[in-house]
Amino acid sequence: MTTLLKIDGLSKTFGGLAAVRDLSFELKEGEIVGLIGPNGAGKSTAFNMISGSLTPTAGKITFAGEDITGRKPSHVVKHGLARTFQSATVYLKSTVQENIYRGALCHFDIPVWAQLAQTSAYKAARQKIRHEVDKVLEITGLAPYRHEIAGELAYGHQKRIGVAIGLATNPRLLLLDEPAAGLNPEECAEFGRLLKTLRDEHRISLLFVEHHMALVMGTCEKIIVLVQGQKIAQGTAEEIRNSPAVIEAYLGADEDAHA
């Protein structure tokens, strides 16, 4: 398995606060990796740097052999690294299928004049996008809701739309920030299955932040623990559960972990 994502000495300071300190790890093609840590540990900040919405103070991010440090999100996602947001982030006023369609526009590079002139290349590309949207609707189980307005759907559905938009960009690696937060146990189990499907059938590697321990322990091959911006442990679910450092610094201290 080749290395897909390589993080090297990544740091971010806000004013005086070091939100992430010297974070390094690797993610191999086809892996599901979990990033855990108490509130304010710097997980979202790390995500924001990897996906390009924050510029790191120091460090290097390599994705599929290319240095993407400091690149804009729209550039990074075109290379196959997509992300979702911690809060449900969708186009509230648009239908579900239009939300996904906008994600699928990621690789749509027909020039405007050709779109206006309705050239045959444009029509073919549009057809292709429709198929992709249909596919994503099926995978995420959103097909029954395709014509609903996203803003009118339940929170859990909105989170799923967020994932669907990310999927529509046709990623090799998908970063998910607390995808299961706010889901009920049933939805959560379903979500775990979706993640496995994505990896097994669609060959998408996953890196996700989650407080829901059962989900993390059940789906991730590798877990990275972040406390106060620093990586304190890394390993399989078993190793993490038994790591004294984690128990002391995280599991013991934070009640979230038992959830």
Ligand X SMILES: Nc1ncnc2c1ncn2[C@@H]1O[C@H](COP(=O)(O)OP(=O)(O)OP(=O)(O)O)[C@@H](O)[C@H]1O
Binding of other proteins by 85 (CB under 8 A): yes
As a whole number of Å, the end-to-end CA separation of the chain is: 33
Find which of ligand X, Mg ion, other proteins, none residue 25 binds, CB within 5 to 8 Å per kind: none
Contact between 90 and 162 (Cβ < 8 Å): yes
**Minimum Å distance from CB 61 to other proteins?**
15
d(CA 164, CA 219): 19
Q: Does 110 bind other proteins (CB under 8 A)?
A: yes
Cβ neighbors of 32 (< 8 A, separation 6 or more) are 195, 196, 199, 205, 206, 207, 208, 219, 220, 221, 222
DSSP state of 15: T
Spatial CB neighbours of 91, under 8 Å, sequence gap ≥ 6: 98, 99, 102, 150
Q: Which stretch binds ligand X (CB under 6 A): 37-45, 77-85, 105-113, 199-207?
A: 37-45
Rule CB under 5 A: say whether 44 interacts with Mg ion: yes
Q: Which residues bind Mg ion (CB under 5 A)?
A: 44, 86
Give the interface with other proteins as residue ranges (CB under 8 A). Answer: 15, 51, 53, 72-75, 77-78, 82-83, 85, 89-95, 97-98, 101-103, 105-108, 110, 112, 115-116, 118, 126, 129-130, 133, 147-149, 165-166, 168-169
Residue numbers at the binding site for ligand X (CB under 6 A): 14, 17, 19, 37, 39-45, 86
